Amino acid sequence: MGYVVLVDSSCDLPCDLSQKEGIVVVPMPVSIEGKTYNEGIDIFPDVFYPRFAEFKELPKTSQPNPGTLKDAYEAILAQGNEVVAIHLSSGLSSTFSTAQMVRDMCSQPDKIHVIDSLGASLGYGLLALEANRIVKKANSWEEAESEIFQVRQNMRYVFTPDTLDYLVKGGRVSKTAGFIGGLLDVKPILHITPEGRIEPLAKVRSRKAAMRKLVELIQEEIRHPEDQEIGISQAACLEEARALAEEIKKNVPVKDVIISDIGCVVGSHTGPGTIALFYQR
């Protein structure tokens, strides 16, 4: 018997990486103009972002279907394994509370460990990758849980959207923050707090300055870079993400950089042009 890590698709792990690591990904729904799609199954970033400007209203997202979640948990249990279910931040979504409810409906709830990632996108994905490594070598769940919580506490989420409009319309940042950003024509740097909520971190005058600020932040804050795979996720701005990765590698001796798409769930709220950076501090 072992542990199987399960995530929802808002972790934005590249598909080949999650498959290679044996991480189970449960799709999250995205509703676009009245039609509901399952992320990673029938809606993908390469189709989603080119259409974004044409949407008459912002796409809507919700937690995974409880039945789908229960089936995924039970399938892992049926193989004789315990479930390590890591879900999108409770500060951004009701997915975590839904997962807790579903756990209690399952045949062996004591073998389902539900964890609030307190994050989103690839930073949450990096947490899942670390958790997957931790459970493979831990002597007990208590030991594994303690290590996973330590990684979660150290994970840094910083990002710069092209505009605050989508986050404001979706209720993820205050209208005041959005108004100030538009008034001064600044590029905001945002972060996810230790409580799992989005808050402003800094403001700069241009996109180039925003990229420089991300490099400065990781230089100042990263812990043991030589041991870290850091993450960059991007929404329809791959070349900028690659340039950011190269600039970081010039200045910080990181072990590796994983670049992923910001998926349709997270991208529904941040919009195209968003770049995010994730590392442990």
Flag whether pLDDT at 176 surpasses 60.
no
CA geometry: angle 224, 232, 199, nearest 5 deg: 90
* Average confidence (pLDDT) over 187-191: 92
H-type alpha helices, 9-140 = 15-21, 45-51, 66-78, 95-105, 121-137
pLDDT at residue 172 is higher than 90: no
How far is the C-alpha of 141 from the C-alpha of 129, rounded, in Å? 17
Domain with CATH 3.40.50.10170 in the chain: 2-153
Q: Where in the chain is the domain with CATH 3.30.1180.10?
A: 155-280
Per-residue pLDDT tens digits for 208-235:
999 999 999 999 999 999 999 999 999 9
Tell me the pTM.
Answer: 0.94
Compute the C-alpha angle 58/124/235, nearest 5°.
40
What CATH number has the domain spanning 2-153?
3.40.50.10170
In tens, the pLDDT along 57-67 reads 999 999 999 99
**For the chain, what's the residue count?**
281
Residue 183: pLDDT band by 50, 70, 90 thresholds?
A: very low
Element (H, E) at 164: none
155-280 CATH: 3.30.1180.10
Model confidence pLDDT, tens digit, residues 80-95: 999 999 999 999 999 9
Q: Which of 136, 172, 25 is nearest to 85 (CA)?
A: 25
Cβ atoms of 29 and 108 within 8 Å: the answer is: no
- Looking at residue 124, its amino acid is Y
Alpha-carbon distance 209 to 136, whole Å? 41
| Cα 222 to chain centroid, rounded | 19
Structure tokens at 23: 């991480």
